Amino acid sequence: IYTHPPTGGKQRQARTRTPSENHQKEICSQLGHVHLKLLYKATVHGYTASAFHQQCDSLSPTVSVGYNVSGYIFGGYTRQPFNQSGQYANDDRAFLFTFEGRKLIKYPVANAAYAVRMMNNCGPYFGESLVLVHTGKPIVYSNAASYYPFNAAQMHGNDLNLIDCEVFQVTKFEDPWRTVTWNLEHKLELMNYIENYKPLISSVSQARILLIGPVGVGKSSFFNSINSVFRGHVTNQAVSGCSSTSLTTQFRTYSLKAGREGRLLPVILCDTMGLESSNDTGLDIEDITSILKGHLPDCYQFNPAAPLDPEASGYRKSPSLKDKIHCVTYVLDACNISIMPTKMEEKLSAIRKKANHLRIPQLVVLTKVDAACSLVKEDLTTVYQSIYIKEIMQQASTKLGIPLSCIVPVRNYTETLDLDVNCDILLLSAITQMLRWADNFYDDFSDQLSALQTRE
């Protein structure tokens, strides 16, 4: 069930109210195994018929919801796509509804031939009985004696003043578009793969994975979450939390252990200062080049005002292959992909070019997928059934120029104290992909070395 606000239009200064997840679940329970995708929000797009039709025409089925000043949540459902023909549309399954607490009260259509009227000068128009966004104003038209018999006091308390109106498209669950086995056995298989992984080049004992992303996306939390899986309980080794500026101020390299006193795992996660949109704050692009080439020492203190000085203490002037980055992973917040600032896109593009020039494979990890889609929040195993999550991944693919096959969703451990098998599987799958991408780096390095030796 999706409640993300669409972008575009001028935001009205109004007290907003949205249905709780329980309200949305109750609506969906009446319609089958479905979820809701927000198409139109009056306080964002405007209380105009043109804005409504621009966002909603030709899409169906839909649920239209009004929120009035008195706190009532009410609306209607129809299978017919909205248009501007002026004609009535037949729909024997249309109904109006309201809530008494969490309980959904339905008012089925009494005359299906007049279920919905396709008017060009108003919002959702349910058979002369209920019109949301009437006359271009946040006002409801209501007529309880028409084609949907209802009790006006029960439906909306006779309060016709809206504080918002939303229209959702009803979408069915898709078959999972990626196959995942959600059980403990698969988790253990993934852990075993990671624990026994060996880089393809003998001089390298651990794959070095660089985590890059904007401030607050969860880079440090991602390491903590992976570390938690192998420790068997939630940990917080890397500094993480909520802040408008990066909590990570040093270049840190973190090794993973198989258990509290176990052996080191064959992977190192390199954490960096968060990226910021402005050029004079956050991680410097030139510092990233030094990281990719293996010049930066662990615990290097970032200085956004100036890149690393080659004469600085600890600077590796001749890094070996084991010091270099073998896979770049962009960590992004699934909730913010659609509103990513242009300057942030430009920074990520610049990093992409540097990584491509050095022939370093790149991957995207999308965090906070449970916050982006309440369906996934309720059941993490639906992450590859959620149309919205797939759309977000496609947006990330377009913005970064990275194939969809190189993008993986995860949920970090930021609230709970206990581990969850399904959460672990997504986290371990992400690490597995990073190791496979690192193998691509080693293969390419070996091919270049062989070509060089052949020429000699």
Cβ–Cβ < 8 Å for 52, 159: no
Asked whether the predicted pLDDT for residue 33 surpasses 80, the reply is no
Please check whether residue 99 lies inside any domain of the structure.
yes
Q: Highest mean pLDDT: which of 226-240, 284-298, 343-357? A: 343-357
**Greater pLDDT, 124 or 244:** 124
Whether residues 240 and 199 fall in one domain: yes
Whether residues 164 and 194 fall in one domain: no
Which residue from 420, 415, 433 is spatially nearest to 236, judged by alpha carbons? 415
β strands within 90-245, DSSP E: 95-100, 103-108, 116-117, 125-126, 130-131, 141-142, 162-172, 207-212
The pLDDT assigned to 217 comes to 92
Asked whether the predicted pLDDT for residue 9 surpasses 70, the reply is no
pLDDT in tens, 99-142: 998 899 999 999 999 999 999 999 999 998 999 988 888 999 99
Please check whether residue 199 lies inside any domain of the structure.
yes
Whether residues 156 and 219 fall in one domain: no
pLDDT in tens, 312-344: 777 888 999 999 999 999 999 999 998 899 999
**Greater pLDDT, 325 or 239:** 325
Whether residues 213 and 336 fall in one domain: yes
Residue 129: both structure tokens together: 């009985």
Asked whether the predicted pLDDT for residue 424 surpasses 50, the reply is yes
Mean pLDDT of 181-208: 96
Mean pLDDT of 87-94: 96
The pLDDT assigned to 15 comes to 35
Residue ending a domain, choose from 146, 172, 198: 172
State whether residue 157 is helix, strand or coil: coil
The pLDDT assigned to 29 comes to 78
Q: Would you give the distance in Å from CA 141 to the centre of its chain?
A: 37
Total Cβ atoms within 10 A of residue 364? 25
Asked whether the predicted pLDDT for residue 30 surpasses 90, the reply is no
Query: Residue for token digits 């056995």?
Result: 185
Helices 421-455 and 219-231: crossing angle, nearest 10°?
110
**456 pLDDT tier (thresholds 50, 70, 90):** low
What is the CATH classification number for the domain harbouring 331?
3.40.50.300
Please check whether residue 8 lies inside any domain of the structure.
no
Whether residues 84 and 195 fall in one domain: no
Which residue from 322, 200, 196, 309 is spatially nearest to 253, judged by alpha carbons? 322
Please check whether residue 14 lies inside any domain of the structure.
no
Asked whether the predicted pLDDT for residue 358 surpasses 90, the reply is yes
Q: Provide CB contacts within 8 A for 456, sequence distance 6+.
A: none
Whether residues 168 and 223 fall in one domain: no
Whether residues 294 and 220 fall in one domain: yes
Which residue from 35, 3, 1 is spatially nearest to 16, judged by alpha carbons? 3
Whether residues 188 and 309 fall in one domain: yes
422: left (phi over 0), alpha (psi -120 to 50) or beta: alpha
Domain, as residue range, for 60 = 21-172
Asked whether the predicted pLDDT for residue 157 surpasses 90, the reply is yes
Asked whether the predicted pLDDT for residue 248 surpasses 60, the reply is no
pTM: 0.69
For the chain, the average pLDDT equals 87
Specify which residues 125 forms β-bridges with. Answer: 131
C-alpha dist (Å) from residue 233 to 265, 267, 364, 421:
17, 20, 25, 12
The pLDDT assigned to 247 comes to 58
Please check whether residue 10 lies inside any domain of the structure.
no
The pLDDT assigned to 251 comes to 84
Whether residues 161 and 189 fall in one domain: no
Mean pLDDT of 234-245: 65
Residue ending a domain, choose from 133, 151, 172: 172
In a 10 Å sphere around its CB, with 0-12 CB exposed, 13-18 middle and 19+ buried, how is residue 280 labelled?
exposed
Asked whether the predicted pLDDT for residue 32 surpasses 90, the reply is no
The pLDDT assigned to 312 comes to 74
Distance in angstroms (rounded) separating the CA atoms of residues 302 and 300: 6
The pLDDT assigned to 313 comes to 73
Whether residues 226 and 168 fall in one domain: no
**274 pLDDT tier (thresholds 50, 70, 90):** confident
Please check whether residue 1 lies inside any domain of the structure.
no
Asked whether the predicted pLDDT for residue 282 surpasses 70, the reply is no
Alpha helices in 179-246 (DSSP H): 184-195, 219-231
User: What share of the chain has pLDDT > 90, as a percent?
Assistant: 63
The pLDDT assigned to 377 comes to 86
Sign of the CA dihedral running 172, 178, 184, 187: negative
Mean pLDDT of 262-282: 83
Distance in angstroms (rounded) separating the CA atoms of residues 406 and 430: 10
Chain length of the chain: 456
Number of domain units in the chain: 2
pLDDT in tens, 20-29: 667 887 888 7
Residue ending a domain, choose from 172, 199, 223: 172
The pLDDT assigned to 208 comes to 97
β-pair type (264-271, 300-301): unpaired
Please check whether residue 178 lies inside any domain of the structure.
no
Whether residues 244 and 308 fall in one domain: yes
Alpha helices in 120-183 (DSSP H): 152-156
Residue 279: both structure tokens together: 């050029």
Distance in angstroms (rounded) separating the CA atoms of residues 365 and 51: 35
The pLDDT assigned to 305 comes to 63
DSSP state of 10: P
User: What share of the chain has pLDDT > 70, as a percent?
Assistant: 90
Please check whether residue 420 lies inside any domain of the structure.
yes
**Greater pLDDT, 391 or 1:** 391
Q: Which amino acid is residue 144, in one-letter code?
A: A
Specify which residues 254 forms β-bridges with. Answer: 269
Cβ–Cβ < 8 Å for 379, 25: no
Whether residues 379 and 424 fall in one domain: yes
Mean pLDDT of 417-439: 97
Angle at 300 between CA 207 and CA 284, to 5 degrees: 90
